[in-house]
Amino acid sequence: MLIAYSERYVLRRMSDGCYLCVNDANQSINSIESPDKAWYFRTHDGAASPALLMDEVHGETPYVVKI
């Protein structure tokens, strides 16, 4: 059975509520206020792995948010 839509998940920082994105110029992780251009994942598990790694590097685990 084919699904006409796909789920999307983004990462949202707890401290300020901003969404995370990848800067095209230098591949750094930046924050933005809108989820429209946020770094998105197709599965919850796909988003959870980078979120846990960010905790190790930045000391804060972002929320995985379904949009």
Instruction: Encode pLDDT of 33-43 as tens digits.
Output: 999 999 999 99
Per-residue confidence (pLDDT) for residue 49, from 0 to 100: 94
What is the mean predicted confidence (pLDDT) over 14-38? 93
Q: Is 8 exposed, middle or buried (0-12, 13-18, 19+ CB in 10 A)?
A: middle
**Look-up: residue for tokens 């905790």?**
55
Q: With 70 as the cut, is the pLDDT of residue 4 above it?
A: no
Domain ranges of the chain: 9-66
Cβ neighbours of residue 42 under 8 Å, at least 6 residues apart? 6, 7, 8, 9
- In Å, what is the CA distance from 8 to each residue of 24, 25, 39, 44, 57? 20, 24, 10, 8, 24
Per-residue confidence (pLDDT) for residue 5, from 0 to 100: 58
- Please name every residue paired with 6 in a beta bridge, in sequence order, or none if there are none: none
